[in-house]
Amino acid sequence: MRSVLVAVLAALISVTPAGAWSIEAMNEQIEKTNVVVGGVCSGTIIDVKERLVLTAYHCITGQLVEEEVKEIDDKTGEIKTKKIQKRKPLEITVNRIVDYEIVSSVDYLVKIVGTDTDNDIALLQVIDKAYVPASSARLAADDFVIRRGIRVYAVGNPGVIYDNSITEGIISAPQRTIEIDGKRFKFFQHSASIIGGNSGGSILNENGELIGTVSAGVRGAAIGFAVPISFSKDLIRKAGFGKVLEKQ
């Protein structure tokens, strides 16, 4: 009787709960939806048809460079020098690894189609219409509630060279207001390990749904901060891509 009971319990434990994220699905999603942004950060493909990538706003600010240009004054004929800000081309990178080696690394030019500086998020779109992403991450439903203790996964490119990495943690606090460089941001706190390069990457729940975007963390501690998906959905709508949410 005892052996039968043990066998039944083992069978129940091995069954994946309805809607849960399997290891196979996890690996496939990460490899097909995580990208490197601007050579320094992470991003997530959230729509195949529109070729949209969600990332952190601070990941794209480094694309602004200052240049000196010389101009001739029409009245005096004097040559003057002034400084202007110019935006460098922004790219996402998709890597493919086989037998521990990157066998292909393809860059795609993107344009910025939406930004929310108050919440540190940005929406990018791949310019090349011939590019068809292999897949896109699902966004958590509007009724998803961020609560303490929920298991989460941080996906991104820590250190950039460790691309397509995943770490596990829980939601530590559903609401945090953190001041960074004199500006206050609204985040939720999690314990999944992140370092530089993870910024802009995804925080996913147990079903593989995107619930947040990595923004900041405390170095050397299991304290990370992410932008709730509700803010990203507002940005998607404001950028004119509300239909993307209807398909989720």
Higher pLDDT, 237 or 248: 237
Euclidean distance between CA atoms 185 and 88, whole angstroms: 27
Secondary structure of 179-227 as H, E, C letters: EECCEEEEEEEECCCCCCCCCCCEEECCCCCEEEEEEEEECCCCEEEEE
pLDDT of 12: 42
Tokens representing 83?
A: 């400084």
* Dihedral sign computed on CA atoms, order 237, 112, 145, 28: positive
CB 51: neighbour CB atoms within 10 A?
21
pLDDT of 95: 85
Average pLDDT of the chain is: 88
Are residues 56 and 40 in contact, defined by beta-carbon separation less than 8 angstroms? Answer: no
Beta strands in 63-190 (DSSP E): 64-72, 79-87, 90-98, 101-116, 121-126, 151-156, 165-180, 183-190
pLDDT of 89: 86
- Cα 240 from chain centre: 19
Higher pLDDT, 46 or 83: 46
Give CA separation, 160 vs 2, 93, 130, 201, in Å. 51, 11, 26, 11
Q: What is the mean pLDDT of residues 30-37?
A: 96
pLDDT at 50 over 90: yes
pLDDT of 63: 64
pLDDT tens-digit series, residues 63-118: 666 677 777 777 777 877 777 666 678 999 988 888 888 788 899 999 999 999 99
Q: How many CA atoms lie within 13 A of 226 on its CB side?
A: 39
Higher pLDDT, 5 or 32: 32
Query: Any idea what the Cα angle at residue 237 is, between residues 208 and 189, rounded to 5°?
Result: 45
Longest dimension (CA), the chain: 102
Q: What is the mean pLDDT of residues 186-190?
A: 98
Q: What is the dihedral of CA 42, 48, 52, 55, to 10 degrees?
A: -20
Give the residue ranges of DSSP H helices in 17-58. 23-33
